Structure 1
Amino acid sequence: MTIPPRVLTVAGSDSGGGAGIQADLKTMLALGVHGMSVVTAVTAQNSLGVQGAWELPVEAVRAQFRSVVDDIGVQAVKTGMLSSAGLVTAVAELLAPLDVPVVVDPVGVSKHGDPLLAADAVEVVRTRLLPLATVATPNLDEVRQITGVVVDGEPAMREAAAAVLKCGPRWVLIKGGHLSGDAVDLLTDGSSEHWLRAPRHDNRHTHGTGCTLASAVASFLARGLDVPEAAHAAKEYVTGAIEAGFPLGGGIGPVDHAWRQR
């Protein structure tokens, strides 16, 4: 009996199913790994935005993590929405002893611009969480939030990557989806560069893109790919999911995590 690789997501719940824990688990299923979850927060969320968010107690997060890791084990971890300094600190303490790849998606704002990270938690992300990351996957808003660097074009992505790398991750994947032109991301460890390019699809239904990309990287790392290989494979997967994104409700619909199965 073949047991698939096991990947744990530590993130918030999106009641609309397009991002957060729901997007992570859909991505993991689509990419052939067994997804498990530690829920850090519950949101009331739909295609129009986030109407409410409730953080879970640190004790509940610790208990979920220990329950999964101590019995089932993990081969990669992905972190997402960690809304407070206390949660970031607790998750960093849980991750520190693990000897598996960790993908940190430093979620700061939602697709609709709703804040998802408390101001006093940003410094803890810098000093406690990012140093544990095998790969950090900030978008341009999160780069500015973490480092103060404003990216207005591809040349500035190198400066952004260098600033994030100073926080301690082994690799950083700067997501340039908010720029004009092709969808361009930069993966670097400070010595080698990998520019990931894809055509920009004319589709506004892109909810969950960041969560999906980070979960895809974690899934491919759990399957044994190295970081550049995992990033390239994840980019291909998320590009197809964006192209197949579909409308839901009255706002921005989700990417299609099952595009390869349809």
Structure 2
Amino acid sequence: MNKRIALITGATSGIGEATARLLSRSNFRLIICGRRADRLAALQQALREQTEVISLSFDVRDQQSVAKAIQGLPEEWKTIDVLINNAGNAHGLDPIQKGSLEDWDAMIDINVKGLLYVSKGVIPGMTARNKGHIVNLGSIAGKEVYPNGNVYCASKFAVDALTKGMRMDLNPFNIKVTSINPGMVDTEFSLVRFKGDDEKAAQVYKGLEPLKGEDIADIIRYVLEAPTHVVLADITVFPTAQGSSTLVKRNA
């Protein structure tokens, strides 16, 4: 059986890295993407023990860099079977009246426009071949708005809408489209949101066992291994301690 080619954005940490490591052991060839070239190189070297892997270093916010990187793939790597749009971020946790324009731009540019730029580079090949699978990493923040979440929630609501639109538009081409919407996952997410403040980031997961990147990677692999006639369209996943975007059971 030929290995499918999966392109993963945001592969240098968290869910993206966990997914790359798992899929490298699961009959996939990998194109790993990220901004941090040093981390990409280290991950590529590690994954080579399991499968064929190449890396693309670009910022998803830079449309020209995205297009150049994807168009510049060697011919034998251009038949991308799976696109995992994982790159995303949250910046700040301020009420709307105190929000930072820089933070707003970063979230919209990465979470929404970045997803579109990468998808634009990959989808035409899928439609030409009449097959493919797109997995968009959303969030519970794309299902439920919470206080001070405003622009981050808006960006993830946009991802939810785009995913539904993709599923409709790509239906004639036999392309599967899946949305995975996690609750609390212990990655670099909170560290980025609080701009490197380790103490604040640690408080997010205090008194509970959050999801891990590996938990989401397991779900992604399950989704990708479903039979041809089956698509898991929309998945929300919480740690057991979480009941909604704002309801969390913490141990004393």
Same fold (TM over 0.5): no
Q: TM-score range by the shorter chain?
A: 0.3 to 0.5
Normalized per residue, the structure richer in helix is: 2
Normalized per residue, the structure richer in strand is: 1
When the two structures are superposed, what TM-score results if normalisation uses the length of structure 1? 0.41
Question: Which structure is larger by alpha-carbon Rg, 1 or 2?
Answer: 2
When the two structures are superposed, what TM-score results if normalisation uses the length of structure 2? 0.42
